[in-house]
Structure 1
Amino acid sequence: MKFAVDQNKCIGCGACEGICPKVFEMPDDKAQVILDPVPETLRKCALDAEDGCPVGAITHSNKE
């Protein structure tokens, strides 16, 4: 599963990193995906971070 962060939508709140720090980080006040593709063991965590994004900046696809 692949995740992406729309840099134009991201407000840098850090919710994704707080929910799933093994997949998302905030190096420059904007979220970035640090695992691509996201391993199966972290998918639920990453999906929770996507759901927790207050501006809907995180999306995913099932492609590897």
Structure 2
Amino acid sequence: MRVVVDEDRCAGHGMCLTLCPEVFQMTDDGWAVADPADVPAGLEDSVREAIDNCPERAISEKD
């Protein structure tokens, strides 16, 4: 599973970081990034929860 954050849509709410800090981080400017973009095994459910709960719908799963 790969995940990306659309920097144009992210408003820096941090919900993703709260739900899955192993994958999501906040930049110094206050925007979310997915690092690593390749989601480690066992964290897929947490990442999907972050996708579902992003207020701006800025996170998406990539093939």
TM-score by length of 1: 0.90
Structure 2 stretches lacking a partner, 5+ long: none
Structure 1 stretches lacking a partner, 5+ long: none
Hey, which bits of structure 1, 4+ residues long, moved more than 4 A? none
Query: How many residues are aligned here?
Result: 62
Q: Percent identity?
A: 37
Map 1:1-64 → 2, pairs under 5 A? 1-28=1-28, 29-61=30-62, 63=63
**What's the secondary structure of 2:43's corresponding residue?**
helix
Could you say which structure has the higher helix fraction? 1
Distance 2:37 2:9 in 1: 20
